[in-house]
Structures are given as C-alpha cells and as structure tokens.
Structure 1
Amino acid sequence: MKKSLLLFILSAGIVFSSCQNEKVSNNDYKDASLTIEERVEALLPKLSLEEKVAQMRIFHANIGVEADANGSLKLSEKVIEKLKLGIAGIKNPGEHMDPVSAAKFNNGLQKHIIENNRWGIPALFVTESYNGVDAAGSTRFGRPLTSAASFNPELVNRIWDVVGNEARLRGMHMCHSPEADLVRDPRFGRMSEAFGEDTYLTTQMVVNAIKGVQGNYEGLGKGTHIGAVAKHFAGYGQVLGGSNFAAIEISPRTLIDEIYPPFEAAVKEAKTLGIMASHGDINGIASHGNPELLTGVLRDQWGFEGYVVSDSNDIARLFYFMNVAESPEDAAQMGLEAGIDIDLYAEDSYAYLPEMVKKNPEVEKLIDRSVRRVLRTKFILGLFDNPYINIEDVKKGVRANSSLELAKESDLESIILLKNDNKTLPIDKNKTIKIALLGPLVTENTQTMFESVAGEQVKFVAEKGFHLTDEKGGAPKLLERDENAISKMVNMAKKSDVSILFLGGDEFTSKEAFFTSALGDRATIEPVGAQDELIEKIKALGKPVIVVLKHRRTLAINTISDKADAILDTWDLSEFGDESTAKIIFGEVSPSGKLPVTVPRSIGQMPFHYSMKEINYKKGYLFLEDGPLYPFGYGLSYSNFEYSDIKISNSEMTSGSEIEVSVTIKNTGKVKAKEVVQMYIKDVKGSVTRPDKELKGFEKIELNPGESKTVSFKITPDMLKFTGLKMEKVLEPGDYTVMIGTSSTDYKQTSFQLKK
C-alpha cells in the first residue's frame, strides 16, 4: 500500500511538473491563424478547475492593486495569490492616475498577470462611463440623460467613440455601461445614468453608444476600443418607490414591449460584448437566479454570445438578501444555472465552485460554458496577441482637441429652453449690462466661463450663497436655511440688471444608493433647501430672472417655472457646461434640446410618462392642474417652426407593405436653428389596452431663416406589433393615428388603416 501510494504521489508530481511545462510546449491557442472558437477550445481543456473558476471572477483594484511612490506596481499578498491562477478581470485599476501613468501602470499589471499564471492568460481591466471614462484625466462629457436630450443618435455615437478610445488608451478593455433600462421615476437616484423614459429613444441612444464605445465592433480586435456591458438586465429602473434594491413589479406585457427592446437591440444590432444582470427581481424572481431571463430570453431568443456579469456581490445576495437561496453554495448554483458567467467582487459565491464540483461533477459543464464566453471575449479584444498599450498613442489620443470640442458640441445640442417669456433670451452682449450669477449651483469656474463668452461690455458678479447639503458622501444631510447668504444674493441682484440663478440639484442630492448605509434616492422631487425662496425674493425686485437648471433627476420646478422669465434646463453637462450655457444665453447658438422625460407637477402623479395607457388620463387630481408641467419631447428655440402639409403615401397598409408619412417644416424666425421633428403613432383600438401614443421616429434638422424642409418617416409593420392577448407578438388590423410635431403634445396628425 505504501509503495503504491508513493508511486501515485510521484506520478502526480510528474503530471504537475508536466503541466507547468505545458505553457512552453502546448501553445496552439496562441496561434493567431486559428479562429477564435478554435483557440478557445484549444485553451479550455488545459485549465485546472481552479484556473477555470478564476476566469469567472472580477475583483476591485482597491483590495491591493496600487502604485508605489515611484508609480511602479505594488500588489498586496492577497492579490498576488489570486493572480497565480489568472483572473477574469480587475475593476478600475489606475482610475485615479492621469492617462499616461495609468497606461504604464496597467501595462505593468497586465505583464505581471500574464507572466504569473500558467497559460499567460491576460485579464480584462474594467471601467464605467457616466460622464465619459470614469477615471482621472479623461474628457468629461455630459451624462447619458443629458445627451439623450440632444435627440441626436449620431452625436451620441461620436461621444462614445471617444469614450471607447480613451478607455483603451489607458489600458481598459470593458465598460460596465451603457444603461439600457428606462427611467420613469425621478425618486430614483441613478436616473441620469440612463437615456430617459421612452423605449424608442433609449433604443436609438443605446445602440449608438455601444457601437461607438466598441468602435463599431471592429475597434475591439484592433485595440482601439473597449467592449460594452449593457445594464441592468432587466427593469432595474422600475424599482418600487424609486428605492434602490426594492422589488420590481412589471407586467409581462410591459416587460416585453417596453423594457426589453433596448437590450434586444444592444445584442442584435450593436453586438454588445457583455450584459450585466439587474440587482432586482422581476415579479418575484430574482434576476441573478432567473434562467428564463438570462438564458431563455437573452441567449435562446436573441442569440447573445457574450458574457453575463453579476452586479456587485449579487450572486451571494440571492442567499443573504433576496432570500431565495438556501445557502451560499445554493446561491452560486442558481447564478451558474441561470447564466451568470462572471461573479463581480464576491468572495462568498463562485469561490465555492471548486468544492461544489467535488460533490457534483456535473457542475463543471456549466463552468466550462461560462469560461468559454470569457475567453472568447479576451480573444475578440486581441489581448492574447497584443495585451499592452503604446504609451506614445496615449499622449496623442486622450483629451485631444477634437474630443474637447465634441464635449462642447454635445452641450449645445442638449440644453433645453423650457421658458422664454417676452424674449428674455438671448441677451445682447453688445450692450453694457451687469449680470449677477447666483445660487447653489454656481461653481468656481462659472464667472470665468461666462466672461470668456460675453466679452468686455458685460460685467459679472458671482455668488454661490449656500450649499444644498453637507456634502457627506454616504448620506448627505440638508443644511439649515442661511439668511445671510440669501440676503447677500438679493442685494447683489438689486445692483444688477439681470440675475441668472443656478438652481436644481447636484451629485449629492441624486446618486446611487449603495447596499450599505449610502443613500441617494428621494421621497420628494421639489428643489431642496431655500431655492424657491431665493427666486421668489429676487423676482420681487422687478428685474429679469433667468434660471439655469442643473440636476441629475427630474425636479418638480413649479415655483421656478412660475417666477422665472426664462429657464434653461441643462441637466448635467460636460466640463465646459457653463461656457456652453453662456453661449446659449448670449445667442451664439439657438437651443435645440428636447425633454427625454416628462416633468411632473408633483411626485403624487407618479407613475407619469407620456406613453402611458390612454385610460390613465381619464381623471386628474383634486387641487392639482391636469397634465405635466412640461411634456416629453418639449423644448423651445430662439426661432419659430411652422409645421404644414402633413401627407401620407397611402391611407391603407398591409402586413407586407410600408407607408410613408411626411410633413413640411419652415423656419419662420430670424435665426438659424435646429428642430427635432418627432413622429408618434397611436393604436386607436386594440385587443389589450394600448399606450396613448408611442414615439416611433425622430429627425433633427437645421434650417436657415425662411428655409423649409420636408421630413419623411417610414411606417413599417414591425412598428405596430405588440404583445397581444395570448402573450405573443401580434399585428392587429384597425385604425392608427400618426402625429408629427415638435413635442408629444404639439403636432399635426393624419391616419391610416391596417388591413388584414
């Protein structure tokens, strides 16, 4: 027995030694002439079980990936031990470094990873993008909801092309963005991460964002762009009460017809490399343990071939938070069977997989399925053949002048003119005038940026006055009313000809509510603090009051809307936001943004989006004016646009035909301006209750004074399909109304009939 045992140990040692040398002798997976599938299948069998599981885990760089005083790589013992087996990826390495330093650092980190796992498997370095690359020294663009206000998908594509390129240049490979979910509840602190309330608008923006960040897919293998991870699948923005981590109740019909399409387009049209699952549940089924969602819909129906990553620690939370798993191991099994390929951050879920395989060898088949998807992604990105960044490229490519100009262009197309009584705007900068820049959203650069635009005739004074909160990161608290600050601003307004008030909210009044004690959602949506009081007192002076509204969630701005002479809704612009706002105020450019969300009068109206069912509009509320404060798609201009001659190519349509509808738009004003022409369709009678109207097309055009243009839209059968009585997509014969206009409530209309 002892001799046999010794022989076994010796033979095992020989096998282990042989495995160590396979890195040198069996490099067929490194043959770039093979297909990606062939390379994956050549590499996968070589991996030990522990090495496979390592390819299913991502950890955050904050556990011990840092630079020493000289900028060189410094790893904790914990990280060194992890990397011996390889790793799927690391989140945010070098995020606080300038781009060149980050590229050097990430080259060093990747080199360590490749040289210290048996098969030289590179890691994915992962970032996010809300205002451009979420890392120091990158071009700072407006947030997604801001750019959605541009109604310009091509512009969004160019923005995300820069994001993808700047991220790759600092050594990143994947991006946990964009947000493909709809946001319809302004209580939700993460509202500005998405593209708005509408399915069609969100779909167009998401497709263009993904194509941009991935370099139209071609940029992945060339090493110029990164892969997208569309999130959060699905319905994450529909949490009850707008409260992060709350339950999600969506009717199956709404899920299919309204929530799914942006994700489906992300997969089929944009070829997103990744999908992130939602924190929440869908009608009681936790998304991270939902095989019907993550495999049945995503893969079997839509043909998704990329990887699915968990949201932070969410597989383990199936056990200790969602309470749908009996144990941590059960949670890991549920996530694996559902189709989660990568476990983000956790040490208490997929870390258990090697032990689970010992008890149930069949589990390894599911592990192999996931590892194939991860390895495939790394081959698509070209990391086995070209894992490092050329530092000279970084110096030329990050924050290029063209990127900075693009940030300004995006601002100018995204700013929305909500109100302009008595043509308060634009202000003539050739007249001698004194302007007070006042309010809690004034920044240290606001006056300088306004001065750079206005020139010498216009004089400015600026005063922030007060902060909205104590600006504590976790759970900020509102500050007490500051009488001295208010009085100081009122006195400055008295001595000025015009006051521009910077009001709304900031990154502390609307943010992600993390799992711990951090808060970011709100129960009310009025502007916080003494902002309403401030505008009332300054308006009482009898001088023009302009409001620049900065915010990351929709606000019920009833007082502001009533008192202000003009309102510019800027959401959250780029690093040049105040400069761009000044250009609009002084008339260098006419505003052309449109609301990507409905602005309610009160939180009590929620849910409240333009495409609700027609029956939702039957009754209003006691003591509240009916309708929204501002409707979806709304936005004024310094010019005027006349819509006329709406025409339809045929009053009848069949399931095998298309029709065309057109309208003529004329610029009847005195300045060159852009207009967003919007097409909505209403199904007059349906077998199930139908939306009041749905956006089905839009086009942004530019017209000189007196110029006219005819804009045409195709209406296809696919536009008219919906989920019918039997929960199957149907195309129902009947009457349809077509509306083309400047917003969801201001349009010309015609009709057609769909025949059998």
Structure 2
Amino acid sequence: MKKLFFIAVLLIVASCNTKESGSADYKDASLSIDERVEALLPKLSLEEKVAQMRIFHANIGTKPDANGNLKLSEKVVEKLKLGIAGIKNPGEHIDAVAAAKMNNELQKYIIENNRWGIPALFVTESYNGVDAEGCTRFGRPMTSAASFNSELVQRQWDIVGREARLRGMHMCHSPEADVVRDPRFGRMSEAFGEDTYLTTQMVKNAIIGVQGNYEGLGNGTHIGAVAKHFAGYGQVLGGSNFAAIEISERTLIDEIYPPFEAAVKEAKTLGIMASHGDLNGVASHGNPELLTGVLRDQWGFEGYVVSDSNDIARLFYFMNVAESPEAAAQMGLEAGIDIDLYAEDSYAYLPEIVKKNPELEKLIDRSVRRVLRTKFILGLFDNPYINIEDVEKGNRAASSLELAKESDLESIILLKNEANALPLSKDKSSKVALLGPLLKGNTKEMFESVAGSNVKFIAEKGFQLTNQKGGAPELLERDPKAIASLVNKARSADVTILFLGGDEYTAKEAYFSNSTLGDRATIDPVGPQDELLEKIKALGKPVIVVLKHRRTLAINVIAEQADAILDVWDLSEFGDESTAKIIFGEVSPSGKSPVTIPRSIGQLPYHYSMKEINYKKEYLFLDKGPLYPFGHGLSYGDFKYSDITISNAEITPDTELEVSVKVTNNGSMKAKEVVQLYLKDEIGSVTRPDKELKGFDKIELDAGESKTVSFTITPKMLEFTGISMEKVLEAGDYTVMVGTSSKEYLETTFKLKK
C-alpha cells in the first residue's frame, strides 16, 4: 500500500513538473522568438488574447504619488488583470529617473498580475526628441530635414532611442513617413517635407537610429519605431485634419508609398500606424488591400499595425462605413489592425464577436503573435526593467546636448542676405535690438553668450500672437502701444533682429474634438507682424528676421522688407544660441528648404516636383513662381558649380551612370553646401514630374577649396508606374540637374536604351 502511495505521489509530482515545464517553454531564452511565441499563444484565453491587442493612455490612472511611488486607479487595476499590449506615455510628466523608477514598478505590477507574466509595451512619441519631461529637446523633424544630412538625423534619433529606453519606454509612435505639401495642415512640422526622396532618406535613418540599427532592441538600449500614418495622411483635403484624401493611385504608389516601403524593407521598423483617412473612398483602418496586401504581401512587413487614436471605432461613428461598433471592430481586425489604441468601444467587443463568429479567433491569433513577437524582440520577457544607475549617467549626456546644437547649426536656412547684411561683427561695438512676438525669455542671454562684450543687446517681446488657449487659440487684438514700444527700441539700436512667424498655438494638431483646432485657412503671418517689420524698416537701419514657425508661411512682406532672413523652423532647446552663432558668423548657414515657399495660398497645391504641365500658366496679379524654391538656402561661402560630366551618354536596364560636378568655395569662410541631384524624364507614357530629387551630398569646403562630387544614376531611379499600373522603365531622353537648389543647377543629358 505504501509503495502504491509513493508511486502515486511520484506520478503527481511528475505531472506537476511536466505542467510547469510546459508553461515555462516561452520563458526559455534558448528557443527562437517564433518558438517562444508559439509556446505562449495557446495558453492564453480569448480574453487574454484580446488584452494583448489594446493600448490605453496612462492619463486614465497611472502616475506617481506624492512620494514617487506607483499609484493606479481602479480602472487601470481592472484593465491589467488580463495583461495589456501596452500603455501610452507612462511617466511623461516626470523626470527620467523618476519615470524609470515608476515604470519599473508599473512593469513589475503588470507581470505579477497577469497569469503568464506577460510584460507591457510602454509607448512614447518624438517630435522634439522624446515627448517627455527631462529629455534632450531636439528640433522638429521638418527642422532636421532642412539639414539635408541623413547621417546627422540618424545620430539624433539614436539619442531619442537611448533616452526613451532609459526612462522605461519600448516603442515610439514616430517618425512620420507622410509627405506633407499643404501648409494649411497644422501637423506639417511633424514630417520631413514635401519631397518623396528626402522624406524617405530621413525616415529610414530616423528608424535605424531610434532602433539602434535593430541591434539595440534586444540588448535594451533602444526602442522600436512605429512609422505613421499609412498612408496619404498628409494629403487631407483643404489641409484639414480628418478630411478625406483624394489622391491618384499612381501618385500614391510613386510618391507616398516609398518612405513607408523603406521603413519596412530597409530600416526594419517594428510597427506601422494606420492613417485617419481614406484612399479611393476606402477607410484606411478597414482596408485589407492596404494593410495586408501592400504592407505584408508585397513588402513583407512582420511587425504590428496599430490604429490611430480611436480610429477603429470611428469606422462606425465617423467614417460611416460600418453598420455598428461591432462591425467596425471586425472590419479593423480583418483589414489587419493588430492593436486598438485607446478605444473602449471597439476591440473590447471582440470576445463577444468571436462567440458568434468563432473563425475570427484565427485573425486574433494572427495579431497577438505579432504583438508577442515584438515584446520578445525587445527582450522584455528576459529583461523587463531599467537599471536606474544607467539613467542617471545616460540621460541628457553632454554629447547629446552638443548634438542638439550641431543639428541646429546644420538646419538653419539663410533665405535672403541682401548686400551681405549677415554675418554681424562681434569685434565692432554695436547695439542690437532683439524684438518680436517669437522672442523667448532666455534669448537675450543666449545672444550675449555668443556675441561677447562689444555687442550690447536690448530685448522686448512686445506682444503675443494668440491668447494661447490650448484647444482653439484666438488671435489677440492689435496693440498699438506694444508696437510703438518695439519701434522705439529699434530706433535706439544699430541693428534690429526681429523674431517673427508662428508658434505651437498657430500650427498644431487639430484633435477629433470640435473644440480643438490647429489647421488654418490662410498661410500669411498672423497679427501685426508685417506692420511691425514695415515700421522698423522705415527707420532706415538693418533688419534681420529670424523666422520661427511650424508651417510654411507666405512671407511676402518679410521677403521684400528684411535685409536678411534666417528660416529656423522649430529648433532645439539651444535654438537661439545656435541662431546667434549663425548671425555672428561663427558658423556658415547650410540648411536648405525642405519645402517650396509659395507667394499665396492660391498657388496650392504647390511643390517643386509637380507635373510639368502644372507650370504652364501663372496667376493674374501675382508674380511668377514661388517666393523661395525647394532646396534653396544661401551660405557665407560662395559656391560655384562647374565642369558637369557624365560617364556615358546611354544607360540600359543593366547598367549605371556616374554624373560628376566640380564645386568650389570662392568665399573667404569655410562652409557646408548641399549638392543636389535632380532627374527629369523628358517624354513619358504618362504625364511626368517636372523634376525629381534623386540624391544629395552635404560637403564642407575651406575658402578657395574645390571638390568633385559624384552621384550614381541607377535604372531604379528611372522607374515609375506606367499606364498599366505596373512599374516600368521607358526608353528615351533624360535630363540630369546638379546644383544648389531645385532652381539653380548645371545640367546634362543621357538616354535610356532597352
């Protein structure tokens, strides 16, 4: 009897050990990621699977208490019982060390309070560096694009990835791979410009940087990228957020898709976010041809697709393409949306939906595999916590702050420099007035640190542009006393530097709420800015304009009246210091405009690479062409282009060409120049762009130095979508343009023979 009892006990123990062993397979780091995913997925209940398809925002009840300890609301506690795909922005309003400590506590709570110990993804965004308190503040993506330096952008986003991971984050709903061409759109500066090739290079390098060249994901030094918004989001009608998108299939394929394709194929982005909009009337969040056909079947994407905020539910109550919230959830699932961002009225319904349609659980399994795979790639099952000592040493490192300054200096664009108004002298005794509504509280201090003791500064903001209400800002009434005071300040100075343009209130995201606005119906500078410039210009003294903004502005009066214009977009936390270094000649400006600057909103749509036929007619009572073309940017150097050569007069589908040009700095100062390559298909079976950027190279030349710059022209550069909607190479004549902008270049020709 005792022997039988002992055998029975052994069998029970063996059974328990087998069960524990089986349940621990997914924790075995020696297995492949796919093996670990397949070991874990069958263990999850339907409800636990759906929990891995949802992200909620930390603002519903995830924060530190007065002592810095984790505090969770009842709502969050309830949500975490089954586990969760992720949480958006935990710890965003506290410094990096405090955030890392809190996020360690939060992750520990999540792991210990779901059956299988599945960690969560903590998600941030990045528009000026990590969107969180206490991180290095870089310039906006549009600002970075003006550098035309993709290697610099990669280094910048490498810091973003490192600083985000140090505070306990794992994914980033950035960068934007949208091509933006409408300055009415309030989110313009979140993207990298109007050009497909420039955007592609910047997005690709941003993702490589933030993901640590992919290797930084598993070793815990970097975070995963989520390229957005797929696809065509920047093309909303009227520049109005949430509006329809009317775009031809050919333009979509040739101009809108390439940055996303490079994000997937070349940069290996871990995530993709779907677009608010529609394509040919099909809502992107319910579009299987887009999210599965193009993204996965054509490009081989293996990561997860996340909805934009609440957009699956909006298939029902906003887009009106689903009959019910449940139908919207099913539509999103079938289209290929893996994670529902924020909504309580969408994927939350999936367990009940599956009871009626059991076959849908296969699609749920498909999505959960992708989410779990991401968590394994990031190493969260094996190393879910942050070493606090690393945070204290690595966040806002001196090298990161220096990189922010370097990025600024390469991104500032000198639009105009009449009679060499810039640079100003630090050696000559002078008085400089720093004036205008875009002046910051520390601008004077930053200028003083650069200029030295010979230059005396006076500073006055004068007036604000709006009442700075976050939802729907209102323009303030003209203040004649403020204007008079600024003019008097300028009268007492030798030179005036005016800080004009727009700010975070005049260009911003127009959220879904009707009470939140961010897009504009005009693109002229708001308020009495032009009047202020004209009054100060009338004093007969030099006027320098520092143009700060988050959307392209039609700066006609500024272009006419200012002696010099520095277009700085939205720089880093050291932006005014960097601007001062440019103004006082420590560094030559080398930025180039990543957009075409129009004279009037009436010219829209207006970008340099429009079809050639678009340039046939100009407008009554408006000067010809843009105020400043794409790629434009002056220098303190004096660059001359000469001796353009091409290696062969013909190219075939199996050969390449090399085009070269000699660039000489005839100026007296070392300076950087962006050499730009454009191609034009002279005759096409469909109407073709006037020209297309196909390469750029940023070089630095000493005074008097020359350099030969070469570009390789490949058949791939000549492909486009033909009449049959297939990619084609067409025989014929091509023009090569190499120069300093899309309007100033040397050219030569070649033929494609098949």
Residue 57, structure 1, aligned to residue 61, structure 2: no
- TM-score scaled to structure 1, two decimals? 0.97
Give 1:305's aligned residue. Answer: 302
1:621-664: CA deviations, max 9, x gaps?
00001100000000000111110000000001101100100000
Alpha-carbon distance in structure 2 between the residues aligned to 1:582 and 1:506:
19
Alignment of 1:418-433 (within 5 A): 418-433=415-430
1:526 to 505, 524, 527: 524
Give 1:10's aligned residue. Answer: none
Alignment of 1:669-684 (within 5 A): 669-684=667-682
Residue 165, structure 1, aligned to residue 162, structure 2: yes
Give 2:438's aligned residue. Answer: 441
Residue 481, structure 1, aligned to residue 478, structure 2: yes
1:428-482: CA deviations, max 9, x gaps?
1111100000000000000000000000000000000000000000000000000
Residue 696, structure 1, aligned to residue 694, structure 2: yes
Give 2:346's aligned residue. Answer: 349
Alignment of 1:540-555 (within 5 A): 540-555=538-553
Give 2:745's aligned residue. Answer: 747
Alpha-carbon distance in structure 2 between the residues aligned to 1:379 and 1:167:
18
Alignment of 1:239-638 (within 5 A): 239-516=236-513, 517-638=515-636
Secondary structure at the residue paired with 1:250?
A: coil
- TM-score scaled to structure 2, two decimals? 0.97
Alpha-carbon distance in structure 1 between the residues aligned to 2:18 and 2:441:
60
Give 1:726's aligned residue. Answer: 724
Alpha-carbon distance in structure 2 between the residues aligned to 1:496 and 1:666:
37
Q: Give the drift of 1:21.
A: 12
- For 1:546, the aligned partner's letter is I
Where do 4+ consecutive residues of structure 1 move more than 4 Å? 18-25
Residue 210, structure 1, aligned to residue 207, structure 2: yes
1:40 to 37, 41, 52: 37
1:353-377: CA deviations, max 9, x gaps?
0001110100100000000000000
Alpha-carbon distance in structure 2 between the residues aligned to 1:127 and 1:197:
25
Q: Give the drift of 1:20.
A: 14
Secondary structure at the residue paired with 1:698?
A: strand
Q: Give the drift of 1:199.
A: 0.3
1:496-548: CA deviations, max 9, x gaps?
00000000000000000000021000000000000000000000000000000
Alpha-carbon distance in structure 2 between the residues aligned to 1:632 and 1:110:
47
Alpha-carbon distance in structure 2 between the residues aligned to 1:302 and 1:639:
44
- For 1:719, the aligned partner's letter is M
Alpha-carbon distance in structure 2 between the residues aligned to 1:147 and 1:530:
29
Secondary structure at the residue paired with 2:358?
A: coil
- For 1:608, the aligned partner's letter is Y
Q: Gaps spanning 5+ residues in structure 1: where?
A: 1-17
Secondary structure at the residue paired with 2:273?
A: strand
Shift in alpha-carbon separation, 1:734–1:151, aligned structure 2, 3 A: same
Alpha-carbon distance in structure 2 between the residues aligned to 1:464 and 1:202:
35
Secondary structure at the residue paired with 2:402?
A: helix
Residue 658, structure 1, aligned to residue 643, structure 2: no
1:644 to 642, 647, 653: 642
Shift in alpha-carbon separation, 1:731–1:249, aligned structure 2, 3 A: same
Aligned residues: 739
Secondary structure at the residue paired with 1:346?
A: coil
Q: Give the drift of 1:418.
A: 0.4
Q: Give the drift of 1:283.
A: 1.6
1:203-256: CA deviations, max 9, x gaps?
000000000000000000000000000000000000000000000001000000
Secondary structure at the residue paired with 1:696?
A: strand
- Do 1:23 and 1:118's aligned partners in 2 also have CA atoms closer than 8 Å? no
Share of identical aligned residues, percent?
Answer: 82
Q: Give the drift of 1:24.
A: 7.9
Secondary structure at the residue paired with 1:437?
A: strand
Shift in alpha-carbon separation, 1:23–1:510, aligned structure 2, 3 A: farther
- Do 1:110 and 1:123's aligned partners in 2 also have CA atoms closer than 8 Å? yes
Residue 155, structure 1, aligned to residue 152, structure 2: yes
Shift in alpha-carbon separation, 1:665–1:115, aligned structure 2, 3 A: same
Secondary structure at the residue paired with 1:362?
A: helix
Q: Give the drift of 1:67.
A: 1.1
1:197 to 183, 194, 198: 194
- Do 1:23 and 1:120's aligned partners in 2 also have CA atoms closer than 8 Å? no
Secondary structure at the residue paired with 1:78?
A: helix
Shift in alpha-carbon separation, 1:22–1:163, aligned structure 2, 3 A: farther
Give 2:229's aligned residue. Answer: 232
Alignment of 1:48-197 (within 5 A): 48-197=45-194
- For 1:216, the aligned partner's letter is N
Alpha-carbon distance in structure 2 between the residues aligned to 1:357 and 1:330:
12
Give 2:12's aligned residue. Answer: none
- For 1:658, the aligned partner's letter is E
Alignment RMSD, CA only?
Answer: 1.1
Q: Give the drift of 1:598.
A: 0.2
Secondary structure at the residue paired with 1:230?
A: strand
Alpha-carbon distance in structure 1 between the residues aligned to 2:280 and 2:233:
12
- Do 1:186 and 1:553's aligned partners in 2 also have CA atoms closer than 8 Å? yes
Alpha-carbon distance in structure 2 between the residues aligned to 1:423 and 1:77:
65
Secondary structure at the residue paired with 1:41?
A: helix
Q: Give the drift of 1:26.
A: 1.4
- For 2:535, the aligned partner's letter is K
Alpha-carbon distance in structure 2 between the residues aligned to 1:415 and 1:622:
33
Q: Gaps spanning 5+ residues in structure 2: where?
A: 1-14
- Do 1:217 and 1:271's aligned partners in 2 also have CA atoms closer than 8 Å? yes
Alpha-carbon distance in structure 2 between the residues aligned to 1:104 and 1:615:
59
- Do 1:648 and 1:662's aligned partners in 2 also have CA atoms closer than 8 Å? yes
Give 1:12's aligned residue. Answer: none
1:127-183: CA deviations, max 9, x gaps?
000000000000000000000000000000000000000000000000000000100
